[in-house]
């Protein structure tokens, strides 16, 4: 037994040394920095190393940095304000005034006897620390209290975009406060700085508004339809128990906002108006155009009559009360008001809405929507905030002064139309950035909407359309990925959908296109898989699951088969006889022909022969409709 333990220990030491050597050869930081100048030698990080911070940041960052270094390296480091009498075995964060750094940029210099990071702002110092963390070998914590070697180098870095975001929808499925805190912690380590929080929709109102208690006593709960497909659920019946849901108290919100502030993450709340408001109408039915109907919080996808009345003045008074409390709770300069997918059927039969239309000389109900959104915009700006809305708020007469979140594509082109019309624009393309979609072969994935958005598709997205002028392109604030909540019933599935695609978008938002490299990114992701696993973050390995497609010739009874890997840094093997592929099977190099009813199997292996993902199976057959 003792001999076995000794062998295990020696293997661990060898593995640790190998990882450190690999780190010297390749720097795996996500997102890729602006420049990395690798030098000779190492800085040795040990229990005697001291960390110094500007005094003004000590209160916020000392505890955070201490905890992260213990977590990442297993070393308890002393943190204090800057002491110029110490010159060796130290990590020094300095606040400077260098115009090249901007608001979030930094310089990180690692010498053999010290580490010096310089930045103009809190955000820059925070970002420098995140890069330093990723230079610590991912397996360093296996040896707590031991020294860690970090390669000498100079990093100069700043982000491409100011907006590098993640949207989480907790209206469809409520997630606990602890889960929200965990995700903010994870995304901040990849320099994601905006957390767009979708808090209200047809299936639940998730934020306490003290002025209107029914929003959470009634609007935060729905009937149980667990196990029934989201789009096939029956409506709730009056008097039926409503056990599914939850909400964040104002005290919860304050804790989350403060936690995010320390991590350089700005939380942008969204209340979805005037559509997607079934939970709001269930709580306060007088906001509906249809006083002849009874409303319950929606149980799933079908939510007719979910638009609030745009005609009654009481609607605007009510929303003003909601915005007042939200503006007080969230220090962000932004409030998102939705504005998407507004079904106007109820408006067309509502006397109050028709009266409002005529009194304001509006030509149609699209213009009534822009009237509504413009009124809401004035309520937001009165409180010193800037309004964001989905791209539908450009309909009718638009909403001057608002920021457009451009999500639609194909039939629509808001990614171009919004900046051309003078709007500041955030790109959130549903074809590249909606990570509630599958990320690999659908039969191996959790339930999700149709469509596949694999890791590479997220990574390859370019937020600035080529057709824009330089001035128009300057209105693109950045990009974000969106995880809608219809098919994320628990934290585990949420995280599985988030990672590693959040990492890909982090690099899209931070790194200039010329510096992006898919092959380098894949190696970096694999290194960060170790970190995510260490930190008990669920993540998907779908990038290792190849897609098998074919084009069949029913006359000749053959098919041309293609196997498309998302990951291309490892070997892909396949079989056509129904057996599981191994490293001794044919290596896939190009498309091939196979007879109908052939069973093709494919899998990705690393150089050591380890299966990295799943064995993917596809029968070459014609499905008769």
Alpha carbon of residue 202 to chain centroid: 22
34: annotated active-site residue: no
Handedness of CA 13, 17, 20, 25 (dihedral sign): negative
The enclosing H or E element of 403 equals strand 403-406
Give the pair of three-digit tokens for residue 242.
Answer: 């409503």
DSSP conformation letters of 110-173? E-SSEEEEEESSHHHHHHHHHHHHHHS-TTGGGSTTS-EEEEEEEEEE--S-SEEEEEEE-SSS
Of the residues 109, 157, 201, 208, only one is catalytic, namely 201
Beta bridge partners, 106, equal 157
Give the integer Cα–Cα distance in Å for 232 and 519: 42
**Environment class of 5 (CB within 10 Å of its CB; exposed 0-12, middle 13-18, buried 19+):** exposed
Give the integer Cα–Cα distance in Å for 266 and 246: 23
Q: Which of 65, 66, 157, 75 is nearest to 108 (CA)?
A: 157
Check residue 458 and report its DSSP letter.
Answer: H
Give the integer Cα–Cα distance in Å for 516 and 128: 19
Give the pair of three-digit tokens for residue 341.
Answer: 């997918």
Give the integer Cα–Cα distance in Å for 397 and 404: 14
Cis peptide preceding 274, ω within 30 of 0: yes
341: annotated active-site residue: yes
201: annotated active-site residue: yes
Question: What's phi and psi for 504, nearest 5 deg?
Answer: -65, -45
Q: Which residues contact residue 13 at a Cβ distance below 8 angstroms, ignoring those fewer than 6 apart? A: none
Handedness of CA 59, 64, 65, 66 (dihedral sign): positive
Q: Which residues contact residue 562 at a Cβ distance below 8 angstroms, ignoring those fewer than 6 apart? A: 548, 549, 550, 591
CA distances from 466 to 178, 473, 480, 518 (A): 41, 9, 19, 21
What is the SS3 string spanning 235-264?
CCCCCCCCCEECCECHHHHHHHHHHHHHCC
Of the residues 34, 224, 341, 367, only one is catalytic, namely 341
Of the residues 276, 391, 392, 472, only one is catalytic, namely 276
Q: Which residues contact residue 624 at a Cβ distance below 8 angstroms, ignoring those fewer than 6 apart? A: none
Q: Which of 387, 397, 380, 452 is nearest to 424 (CA)?
A: 387
Note every long-range contact of 351-354, with CB atoms under 8 Å and residues 24 or more positions apart, other chains counting: 351/311, 352/289, 352/309, 352/311, 352/312, 353/289, 353/309, 353/310, 353/311, 354/311
* Residues designated catalytic: 201, 276, 341
């Amino acid at each position: 037994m003792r001999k076995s333990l000794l062998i295990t220990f020696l293997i661990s030491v060898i593995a640790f040394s190998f990882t450190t050597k690999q780190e010297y050869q390749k720097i795996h930081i996500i997102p890729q920095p602006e420049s990395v100048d690798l030098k000779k030698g190492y800085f040795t990080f040990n229990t005697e190393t001291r960390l110094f911070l500007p005094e003004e940041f000590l209160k916020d960052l000392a505890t955070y940095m201490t905890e992260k270094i213990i977590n990442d390296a297993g070393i308890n480091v002393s943190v204090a304000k800057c002491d110029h009498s110490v010159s060796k075995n130290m990590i020094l964060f300095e606040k400077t005034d260098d115009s090249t750094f901007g608001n979030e940029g930094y310089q990180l210099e690692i010498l053999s006897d010290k580490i010096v990071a310089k930045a103009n702002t809190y955000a820059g110092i925070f970002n420098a620390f995140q890069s330093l963390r990723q230079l610590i070998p991912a397996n360093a914590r296996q040896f707590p209290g031991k020294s860690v070697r970090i390669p000498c180098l100079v990093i100069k870095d700043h982000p491409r975009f100011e907006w590098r975001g993640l949207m989480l929808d907790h209206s469809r499925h409520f997630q606990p406060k602890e889960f929200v805190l965990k995700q903010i912690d994870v995304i901040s380590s990849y320099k994601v700085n905006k957390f767009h929080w979708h808090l209200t929709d047809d299936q639940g109102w998730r934020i306490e508004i003290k002025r209107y208690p029914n929003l959470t006593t009634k609007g935060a709960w729905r009937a149980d339809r667990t196990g029934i497909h989201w789009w096939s659920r029956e409506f709730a019946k009056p008097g039926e128990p409503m056990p599914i849901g939850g909400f964040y108290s104002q005290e919860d919100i304050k804790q989350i906002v403060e936690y995010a502030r320390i991590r350089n993450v700005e939380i942008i709340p969204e209340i979805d108006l005037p559509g997607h408001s079934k939970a709001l109408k269930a709580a306060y039915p007088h906001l509906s155009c249809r006083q002849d109907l009874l409303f319950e919080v929606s149980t799933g996808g079908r939510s007719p009559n979910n638009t609030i009345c745009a005609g009654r003045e009481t609607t605007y008074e009510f929303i003003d009360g909601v915005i007042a409390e939200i503006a007080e709770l969230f220090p962000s300069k932004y409030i998102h008001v939705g504005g998407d997918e507004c079904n106007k059927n109820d408006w067309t039969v509502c006397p109050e809405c028709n009266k409002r239309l005529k009194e304001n000389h509006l030509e149609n109900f699209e213009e009534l929507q822009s009237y509504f959104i413009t009124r809401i915009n004035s309520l937001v700006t009165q409180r010193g905030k800037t309004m964001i809305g989905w791209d539908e708020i450009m309909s009718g007469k638009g909403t001057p002064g608002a920021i457009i979140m451009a999500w639609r594509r194909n039939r629509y082109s808001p990614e171009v139309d919004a900046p051309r019309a003078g709007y500041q624009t955030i790109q959130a393309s549903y074809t590249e950035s909606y990570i509630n979609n599958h990320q690999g072969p659908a039969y191996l994935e959790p339930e999700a909407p149709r469509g596949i958005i694999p890791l590479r598709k997220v990574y390859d997205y370019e937020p600035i359309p080529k057709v824009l002028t330089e001035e128009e392109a300057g209105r693109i604030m950045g990009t974000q990925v969106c995880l809608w909540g219809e098919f994320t019933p628990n934290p585990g599935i949420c995280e599985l959908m988030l990672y590693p695609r959040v990492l890909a978008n982090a690099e899209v938002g931070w790194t200039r296109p010329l510096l992006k490299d898919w092959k380098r990114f894949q190696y970096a992701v694999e290194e960060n898989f170790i970190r995510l696993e260490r930190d008990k973050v669920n993540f998907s390995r779908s990038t290792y699951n190849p897609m098998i497609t074919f084009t069949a010739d029913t006359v000749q009874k053959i098919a041309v088969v293609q196997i498309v890997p998302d990951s291309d840094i490892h070997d892909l093997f396949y079989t056509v006889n129904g057996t599981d592929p191994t490293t001794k099977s044919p290596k896939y190099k190009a498309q091939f022909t196979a007879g109908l009813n052939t069973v093709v199997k494919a899998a990705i292996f690393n150089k050591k022969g380890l299966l990295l993902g799943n064995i993917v199976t596809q029968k070459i057959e014609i499905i008769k409709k």
